Amino acid sequence: MEPRRIALAVVLMAAVLILTPYLFPTPKPQPGSTPVAADTLRDSLRDTTAAAAAARLGAGAATNPATGATAGSTGGVAGDSLAPAAVAVDTTVVKTALADYRTSNRGASLVGATMTRYQALSNKGRTRGGPVELASSGDRLLTFRLVVPGDTIALDKQIFRTTESTTGDVSTVRYETELAAAAGAARQVSITYSFLPDSYRVNVAATVSGVPDNSFLLIDLPHAFRSSEADTAEDHNHLAYAYKPELSGAKGVTFRSLDPGERRIEPGPITWAVAKNKYFILGVLAPKGGANFAEANFTGGPRVAKVATRSEGTLLASLKSGTVAFEMYVGPQEFKRLVAMGREFETSNPYGGWIQGLVQPFATMVIRLLLWMKATLGVSYGWILVIFGIAVRVILWPLNQKAMRSSMAMQRIQPELQAIQARYKGDPQKLQAAMMQVYKEHGMSPFSSLSGCLPMLIPLPVFFALFFVFQNTIEFRGVPFLWFPDISVKDPYYIIPILVAITALVLSWIGMRGIKANEQQKMMMYLMPAMMLIFFFNIASGLNLYYFIQNLASLPQQWLISRERTRAAPLVRG
């Protein structure tokens, strides 16, 4: 009977799967209704646009060679088409004190940004190769699409008229065009960039006439960035998008986390979204007090030799009364400037992955402290790391002293505890009472060893914070110190990781003095420094420097404790 029941169950499940779509069909949306999900609307309209374009081509519609737009329309809601261009393609360059920005009247796009205060690094990190350019060859940094009921229009196929003006220190570039409508007056589209001085900030406003409120402006983020770093592979590993939902913390989406073609949809409201590489960022922020973005979605791009260098990111902005406004930050990831943007924009580097909740606050505190030390002391960041490493050890000296002495006291009473365990091996109650008596006589408890270890764990959050801070802190980029050409990249001669391993071995050796070590302890004395050498071999030389200074500053305290240990004889009672 059992096989028959299984077969019957399979047949019934198949019948349910086949008949359900026919018995309970998905209701079709009513014309003009507000979409349940902006992404669903966009997919539907994209398909409609493709069909309309095919129909127009099939009907023999003419194509404008300058814009790629098809003239004329087929009628109906989905029949919007781009008007033929009457002007030539042109690029406008706006120079500020910090950067040069380039916009194009083809699509009213941001096509380039040159960071004039930052130099591209050679593959050896020593020489410079001109200012940093963010736009990858052949790519644009920001493009737009228009979604109206029944159609999706790629504005980067349209040629706009350009108007430039200056008010005070603010340079403005205004783009305008008309979209031929299927019925009624042509839709007027204007996109305005206002470049603010000394801030890497750009205000953007878009207006589209004659569209219903369930229309959207799609803001396409950069698909890639040009690498200007000494280590191009590492720069590619930092390619990512990030976004901040209105009611939660920032989240990151690395290019490599998306398989080619994989799509990730993040529902709104969303305060901001960014595209970034290791040190530079393009962020799109909803205006303070204004409407947030309706949605963000990210799609994995093709890979070259299994390296993810391209992806797609899009923000959906609702066109209320045909208008939308937002802010852009296009520049370096300078902490103070990101903080000045507000809206928790400094968290656009979500540090720590799955331990972000622990690491992010420490990373923020550490970078604030390092920047304060730099401003106060006026020395290079190499010396800042040296001073910081020594200061951490000095501050933790009393706690470490207590921890080491607690550990030493536990080792001192171990022979007595072992003797008691042998004596009362068959009587657990007497064993527990005798051990508690020993702890009481020496002012200790069974938890003394654990409490003694806790102070030694305090530097770990700082170390983890520094590890992530060195990943994206542009203040460290290109900073030379001693023989390091750049403290943000690995030591080219591997001297500092070897010194870290050597000092770790010396610390372990000193820590074993006065202890009758077993074979496992002896093995760990050599194994831990070897593991540290492997770990530190390819990480930033500045982080290696910090840990080396930590080890050096720990040597005197470890030596003093070992002398106390060798003078103290273990307690053994008869």
Q: For residues 376 and 563, give the distance between their C-alpha atoms in angstroms, rounded to a whole number.
A: 39
The CA-based dihedral angle spanning residues 397, 402, 403, 404, taken in that order and rounded to the nearest 10 degrees: 80
Please indicate, yes or no, if residue 9 is contained in any of the structural domains.
no
**Residue 460 pLDDT greater than 50, yes or no:** yes
pLDDT at 563 over 70: yes
Range 496-507 burial, b when 16+ CB lie within 10 A, else e: bbbbbbebbbbb
The verdict on 273 and 414 lying in the same domain is no
Q: What are phi and psi of 24, to 5 degrees?
A: -130, 70
Q: Are residues 435 and 537 in the same domain?
A: yes
Provide the pLDDT for residue 14.
45
Q: What is the pLDDT of residue 568?
A: 62
Same domain, 436 and 507: yes
Q: How many residues make up the chain in this entry? A: 574
List 275's β-bridge partners, or say none: 241, 282
What pTM did the predictor assign?
Answer: 0.76
Number of domain units in the chain: 2
Q: Dump pLDDT digits (tens) for 143-199.
A: 999 998 888 999 988 999 999 999 999 999 999 999 876 555 678 999 999 999 988
364 within a domain of the structure (yes/no): no
Q: Residue 325: inside a domain, yes or no? A: yes
Joined together, the tokens standing for residue 255 give 């290019």
- In a shared domain, residues 384 and 465: yes
Q: What is the pLDDT of residues 105-138, one digit of tens each?
A: 999 999 999 999 999 987 654 555 689 999 998 8
Q: Over 60: is that where the pLDDT of 95 sits?
A: yes
Q: Is 236 within a domain? A: yes
How many other CB atoms are there within 10 angstroms of residue 305's CB atom?
5
| Cβ–Cβ < 8 Å for 128, 198 | no
Three-class secondary structure assignment of 189-216: EEEEEEECCCCCEEEEEEEECCCCCCCE
Strands 311-318 and 216-220: antiparallel
State the CATH number of the domain containing residue 117: 2.70.98.90
- Tokens standing for residue 60: 């023999």
Last residue of a domain, one of 332, 350, 368: 350
Domain that includes residue 250, residue range: 88-350
Rounded CA-CA distance 557/404 in Å is 9
- Say if residue 404 is in the same domain as residue 327: no
Do 119 and 229 belong together in one domain?
A: yes
Quote the tokens at residue 21. 């779509």
Helix, strand, coil percent content, the chain, rounded in steps of 5: 40, 25, 30
Asked if 284 contacts 272 with a C-beta cutoff of 8 angstroms, the reply is yes
Do residue 383 and residue 346 come from a single domain?
no
Residues 150 and 218 in one domain: yes
Q: Which tokens belong to 106?
A: 């083809």
Residue closest to 309 by CA, chosen among 234, 218, 229: 234
Within this chain, do residues 455 and 528 fall inside the same structural domain, yes or no? yes
Q: Is residue 438 part of a domain?
A: yes
Question: Could you tell me whether strands 109-121 and 99-104 are parallel, antiparallel, or unpaired per DSSP bridges?
Answer: antiparallel
- Per-residue confidence (pLDDT) for residue 449, from 0 to 100: 60
- Per the model's pLDDT, the better-predicted residue between 437 and 491 turns out to be 491
Mean pLDDT score of the chain: 80
Other residues' Cβ atoms within 10 Å of the Cβ of residue 391: 14
Q: Are residues 278 and 389 in the same domain?
A: no
Q: Domain for residue 34, yes or no?
A: no
Examine the domain organization and report whether 107 and 237 are in the same domain: yes
Tell me how far CA of residue 35 lies from CA of 72, 144, 316, in angstroms: 28, 20, 13
Question: What phi and psi values does residue 530 have, to the nearest 5 degrees?
Answer: -65, -40
Which residue has better confidence, 510 or 287? 287
- How far are the Cα atoms of 356, 406, 445 from residue 451, in angstroms, in the given order? 26, 8, 10
In a domain, 210, yes or no: yes
Does 254 map to a domain? yes
CA 434 to the chain's CA centroid: 56
The DSSP symbol for 179 reads E
pLDDT at 410 over 50: yes
Residue 33 burial class via C-beta count within 10 angstroms: exposed 0-12, middle 13-18, buried 19 and up: exposed
Same domain, 280 and 399: no
Measure the CA–CA gap between 187 and 80, rounded to whole angstroms.
9
Residue 412 has pLDDT above 90, yes or no: no
